[in-house]
Chains A and B, each alone.
Chain A
Amino acid sequence: MSAHSASPGAAPGEVNHWRRFVLWWLVLSVIGTVIVVVVLAPGMPPGNGTVEASGQVYDDTVLLGLSTPVALGVIVFFVYSIVAFRERDHASVLEGPRITGDARVQTWWLVITTALVIFLAAFGTVELEKDGAGGGQGPNPLSTPPRGTHVLQVQVIAQQWKFTYRWPAYGGVETPTLDLPAHTTVEFHVTSLDVIHSFWAYQLGVKADANPGVDNTAFVTTKGPLTFEVHCDELCGVYHGYMYDTGHVVPRAQFASWISGQEKQYAPATKSLPPYAHAYFPAPTRRGG
């Protein structure tokens, strides 16, 4: 911080750059933060298709709302400096006064940014702990739905290059597509049969690694009907880019009809499936033929 007239304690009659900068910053921060929080943030991905997706939008809104004044502080200071302190008379360029620190500015900067970072860390931890935020929590999840919540278990089985889904509550049937009932808490158990994949149900707000031999749990609570995309989010081979699918959240009655139809349709395959487990170590592990 310069020690001359731009400092907070400007001499009488001199331009108080500090006050000007703060005023510009305050005005632009109020406008910018309102625009970000009210206009931009609600439309951010992944949308409001599930409780967890809405939670992610809320978290991002808070983060953006708090970081907007910080970003504007840097930008306004930068632009103000260029405009106010630009030397227009090149012939008169001389060595300026010695630059010294300003303890008050430095202290406030440290206090504010430290408080902001600590608050965001605490906020993020609380939000993550609340419901898992749709992320994979491994085989022993810390954030689980409240006791007594009806939970529908769905196993996501990744393989090069396709996801299939297994339903322990419906005779262990496996399906090639994913439909979910509306207004239901779903417990995904994500695993892989070959290499590392990642189950990313974008509009559900769920992303969980699919590792061979590992059970990765993620929770999501659906809202109303919704069409969502499922992508693999871990480079998994030549057709990784084609490893996607479309799923649906449908009314409960429609789901009951759908899963019943799947049980009938895939009854022959169900007979050949191994008993339901949270991870599989299938043979063959090498080509036998």
Chain B
Amino acid sequence: MTAQAKRILGIALVTVAFGVGVGLYVGIYLTAAPGQASARISPSGAHLYLATVPAAALNDPHPTWVSYYAVNPDGSHWRHDTTYVLPAHTLVQVTIYQYDSATGLRNPFLGQGEGLSGGRFTLDGKPTVAINPNLASHVFAIPAFGVSVPLAGVSANAKNTCGNAPCTLSQAHTTTTFSFRTPARGLYRWQCFVPCGAGFIAGWGGPMQTVGYMDGYIKVV
């Protein structure tokens, strides 16, 4: 093979490799979709189990960011999914295991639950209408449904606290349960209203502005 032929072959190989790389990059970008967790359907209705943690798992791209997770009813099998699939026109019962400490709400109004079946939620088993807004750690809100629930923070003096996901129910946490009725099929969004993005201006950056941490979508099917 002549020197010129070698040069042409080399250029061709590099070009092909570059093209394949670009194609893969674009293809992966276009086909990548955030993971989703479906509500568990049982004779008593649809159930969704979630957890919030002070920091995502250590192998997460952002292991210092606060985040929501989907979990099993017993608080195990943590999945970093923030798209939740719910059946349409159904009463959905939600349980959230909350492992983070309090940050407080900038708008105290959001310390009261709204849009809930029965007009209240339970905090550690106790029926509740509102919490002290300064003790809120996070909020689970679906504005399009008119649903908003404050999640009380773990006491600052609590022992055996959890740092990074995954956590266990034996660690300090609060449990909030509530239910609401889903509307017709559609894609909706949910979000937290507590400025909980540590290390960002006023707590509103990072996980608060990135889908997959303190916000996501509700896919009603």
Contact = CB atoms under 8 A, between A and B. Distances in A.
Interface of A: 157, 159-162, 164, 174, 176-177, 193-195, 237-239, 242, 266, 268-269, 272-274, 282-289
A282 B195 CA distance: 11
B172 interface: no
Given A239-B189, A268-B112, A289 B106 contact: no
Interface in B188-209: 189, 191, 193, 195-200, 202-204, 208-209
16 contacts: A157-B107, A177-B146, A194-B106, A194-B202, A194-B204, A195-B204, A239-B189, A242-B144, A268-B112, A269-B108, A272-B112, A282-B106, A287-B196, A287-B199, A288-B102, A289-B196
Interface stretch (B24-32, B76-84, B125-133): B125-133
Contacts of B146: 176-177
Contact of A242 (B106, B110, B189, B199): B189
> Secondary structure of the A side of the interface?
loop
B54 interface: yes
B130 A286 contact: no
B109 A269 contact: yes
B210 interface: yes
B132 A238 contact: no
B166 interface: no
Given A194-B204, A195-B204, A269-B112, A287 B197 contact: yes
A161 B215 CA distance: 11
Contacts of B208: 160, 237
A164 B193 CA distance: 13
A31 to B, nearest CB: 47
A191 to B, nearest CB: 11
A237 B189 contact: no
Contact of A289 (B101, B141, B200): B101
Contact of A269 (B102, B130, B144, B211): B130
A157 B112 CA distance: 17
Interface string B82-115: 0000000000000000001111101111111010
Given A266-B112, A287-B195, A288-B103, A161 B133 contact: no
Given A238-B210, A289-B137, A162 B193 contact: yes
A15 B143 CA distance: 70
A120 B55 CA distance: 59
Given A272-B109, A285-B203, 4 more contacts: A242-B144, A268-B130, A269-B110, A272-B130
Contacts of B148: 176
Contacts of B202: 194, 285-286
Contact of A237 (B104, B130, B196, B204): B204
Contacts of A285: 202-203
Contacts of A164: 107, 109
Interface in B175-198: 189, 191, 193, 195-198
B143 A242 contact: yes
B124 to A, nearest CB: 18
A164 B197 CA distance: 22
Given A194-B106, A238-B210, A239-B189, A287 B203 contact: yes
Contact of B108 (A161, A273, A286, A288): A273
Contacts of A268: 112, 129-130
